[in-house]
Amino acid sequence: MSNDAKSTRDDAPAGAPKRCAICAVRETSVCALCDAKELGELDAANFTRQFAAGQEILGAGTPVAFVGSVISGVVRLTRTMADGRRQIVGLLFPGDFIGRAALGVSDYDAVAASDVTLCAFRRTQFEALLRATPHLERRRLSMTLDELDAAREQLLLLGRKSAREKVASFLALFARRLGHDEEADDGVTRVFEIPLNRDEIGDCLGLTIETVSRQISRLRREAIIEVARNREFRVLDLQALLEETGDDSDGGILS
Amino acid sequence: MSNDAKSTRDDAPAGAPKRCAICAVRETSVCALCDAKELGELDAANFTRQFAAGQEILGAGTPVAFVGSVISGVVRLTRTMADGRRQIVGLLFPGDFIGRAALGVSDYDAVAASDVTLCAFRRTQFEALLRATPHLERRRLSMTLDELDAAREQLLLLGRKSAREKVASFLALFARRLGHDEEADDGVTRVFEIPLNRDEIGDCLGLTIETVSRQISRLRREAIIEVARNREFRVLDLQALLEETGDDSDGGILS
DNA sequence: CGATATTTTGACCCGGCTCAACCCAAGTGG
DNA sequence: CCACTTGGGTTGAGCCGGGTCAAAATATCG
C-alpha cells in the first residue's frame, strides 16, 4: 500500500534557500513556468514522498489523496482487463506529473517501476493552487498535450508496428529519456537501465514475454545492442537501432 | 486543400442574441465554463468554417493557421508511416477541440470524416484568449485530460484486444457517441452511421479491411447488429455487443 | 551454495494477414 | 435501356508472425 511510503516535510530555517530553487526537475516539471513568488507558495504546500520499486502509488478505482511531480525514478501506469490482460498505458519519467487534480479517482494503477521520489501535493490543495496560479495551469496544459502526443505515438506503435519495430522503438525511447553516453574504443555507446522486467516490457508493447526476449536476443546477435544483468542496455549502433524502429525521424535522440 | 473551405462571419446586429448562446455544443465544448462576458469576447473572435467529407482540415507538418471546436460532423486524426502504414489516432466528435494553440505545426493530419462545421479561431488569437480567459484554459485542460484517457483506453484496445473485441468496442463507441434509439417491435434499437469506410475502420483498430469485414459479418450473422448501405448500423442486441467488447464496464452507454 | 525467480530458447499452433476472386451499387456512355 | 466501368465490400484459401506450451539456462538472493 502507498501508506507505507515515507513522507518528509523538513522545514528549512527562514532565509535558507528554498527547496524548489534547487529542484532537479525545476526546468521541466509542472512548475517550470512559475516565478519566485509562485514558487514560494508551492514550496509551502509540497512534501516529498518516497516509493520503493514495485510499490503502488495510486490504485485504479481508489480515492486519490495526492498528486505531484516525479523527481527521480520511473512510474508505470497500467490498465488491467477483467481476465487479467494488461497494458501499460504510460511511463512517467522525472519531471512528469502524476494524478488528476480535479478527479477523486483514477482509471489506472500507478506503480513505482524503480525507486521513486515524488514532489507531492494534497489533491484538493493542488487544485486550488492550479486555479490561483496561471503559470501552473498553463504548464500543466502544455505537458498534458505532450503526453497526449506521446500516447498517440504509442497508438501507432501498437496498431501498426511489427514486434521488431516495437522493441527497437522501446529501446530508442529509453536511450533518449534515460540514456547517457559512454566513450568506447570504437565510438560512443548509449547506456541506460530499463526499470521493467520482460513481462512489463511486453505489457508496454502488446507482446508476450517470449517475443520480447526473442527480439532483444536478435538485436544482440546483430551487435546492435549489448545487455548485462537483464536490465542494463548498451546501444552499440544507434543508427542501426533507429532504422529498426520504422520511424522516419530520430525523435530528437541525435545531438 | 483547406483553403477551399467556406468561411462565414455574418455580423449580427447589435442587441441580437449572440450566436454562442444558441450554440449546439455550448455545454460540452471548450467554452462550456465561460460566463456571458467571456462568451461575448469569444463571439467577437470566432468564425464558422465548413469542410466537406474527405477534405483536409490540418496537414501533418504544415503550418496551423486556426484552431476550433467541432460543431457538427466527425474529424479523424491520422498518423502515417514512411511506408504508408496508417493509424487513426483520434476521432473528434461535436464539442471536441481541434488544434494545439501554442504550436505552429501539427504531427498528424486532421481530415473531415463526414461534412464538418467548425467554430474556428485564428491560432495566435486563441492563444491570447486562452491566457486572458481562465475558464477557457481550465476547460481546455479538463478536455485534454479526457482525450488522454480515451487515448489510453485505445492503447489497451490496440495492445491487448482480439479482432472481435476491437470491432465490438468500436461499434459500442459509436453507439454511445452518435447513436439514437429507435422503437422496434422487439425492444429498442440503437441506430447510428459510421462516417468511415472499412479501410479507415481498420486504421482505427490496427486491423486489415478484410478482418474488419469478417468481424462485422459475423456480428451480423449472430443477429447482434444489422447493417444497411455499408455504413448504417443498427444494434439489435446491445447487451450482447457490450459483452463482446471485453470491457467490464459499459462505458456509460446504458441509460 | 542451494533455492527461487526471471529469461532464453525450441517446437508447435492459430488468429489475423495476404492474395485473389467475386459481389453489388452507382455511375457513364453508346 | 443496357453493357461496361469503377469503387467499395465480402468471402475463400493459404501462409506467417507472434502466441502458447514446455524445458533449459541464467540471475538473484538468502
What tens digit of pLDDT does each residue of B205-241 get? 999 999 999 999 999 999 999 999 999 999 999 999 9
Three cell numbers, residue B243:
459483452
Count the Cβ atoms, other than its own, within 10 Å of residue A8: 8
pLDDT of residue A188: 87
Q: Which helix (H) or strand (E) holds A86?
A: strand A86-92
Q: Which residues of A touch B77 (CB under 8 A)?
A: 152
Tell whether the model's pLDDT for residue A61 goes beyond 70: yes
Q: How confident is the model at residue B5 (pLDDT cuts 50, 70, 90)?
A: low
Residue B92 C-alpha from the chain's centroid: 2
* Beta-carbon separation of B144 and A141 below 8 A: yes
Q: Is the pLDDT of residue A6 over 70?
A: no
* Separation of B72 CA and C24 C1' (Å): 31
Q: A-chain residues within 8 Å CB-CB of B166?
A: none
Query: A-B interface: how many C-beta pairs under 8 angstroms?
Result: 110
Closest-CA residue of A relative to B243 is A82
Q: Which of B136, B160, B167 to mutate to test the interface with A (most CBs of A within 10 A)?
A: B160
With a cut of 90, say whether residue A16 has pLDDT above it: no
The answer to whether the beta carbons of residues B107 and B79 sit under 8 Å apart is yes
Round and report the angstrom distance from CA (A196) to C1' (D27). Answer: 15
CA A164 to chain centre: 23
Question: Hey, what amino acid is at B94?
Answer: P
Q: d(Cα B233, Cα B195) in Å, to the nearest integer?
A: 11
- Min Cα distance A132 → chain B (Å) is 10
Tell me how far apart the terminal alpha carbons of chain B are, to the nearest angstrom. 41
List bases, strand C, within 7 Å of protein CB: 6-11, 15-20, 26
Degrees (nearest 5) of the Cα angle B50, B53, B57? 55
**Could you tell me if A151 and B152 are in contact, meaning their C-beta atoms sit under 8 angstroms apart?**
yes
Listing from the earlier edge strand, what are the strands of the sheet with A86-92?
A56-58, A109-112, A75-80, A86-92
Interface of B with A (CB under 8 A): 77, 79, 81-83, 85-87, 89-90, 100, 102, 107-108, 131, 134, 137-138, 140-142, 144-145, 147-149, 151-156, 158-160, 203, 205-206, 246-248
Q: Which residues, listed in sequence order, are joined to residue B234 by a DSSP beta bridge?
A: B191, B226
Mutation to test the B interface, candidates A96, A126, A156, most B Cβ within 10 Å: A156
Smallest CA–CA distance, residue B82 to chain A, in Å, is 6
Cα distance between residue B200 and residue A135, in whole Å: 40
Mean pLDDT of A130-154: 95
**Nearest chain A residue (CA) to B139:** A141
Cell 465544448 appears where? B29
> Residue B216 has which C-alpha cell?
462485422
Torsion, CA A23, CA A27, CA A29, CA A34, rounded to 10: 90
Nearest protein residue to the C1' atom of D11, measured from CA = B214
pLDDT grade, residue B8 (50/70/90)?
low
Find chain B residues with C-beta within 8 A of A151's C-beta. Answer: 148, 151-152, 155
C-alpha grid cell for residue A103? 478527479
Predicted confidence at residue A14, as pLDDT, reads 47
CB atoms within 10 A of CB B70: 22
pLDDT band at A106 (very low <50, low <70, confident <90, very high): confident
Give residue A21's pLDDT: 82
CA distance A32 to A30: 6
Cell of A76: 508505470
Task: Write out pLDDT tens, residues B9-32.
Answer: 544 444 444 578 889 999 999 999
pLDDT (tens digit per residue) in B168-213: 999 999 999 998 988 877 778 999 999 999 999 999 999 999 999 9
Q: A109: which strand partners?
A: A78
For nucleotide D10, the protein residue with its alpha carbon nearest to C1' is B213
Do the chains contact at B246 and A81, CB–CB below 8 Å?
yes
Summarize the confidence of residues B127-147 as an average pLDDT. 94
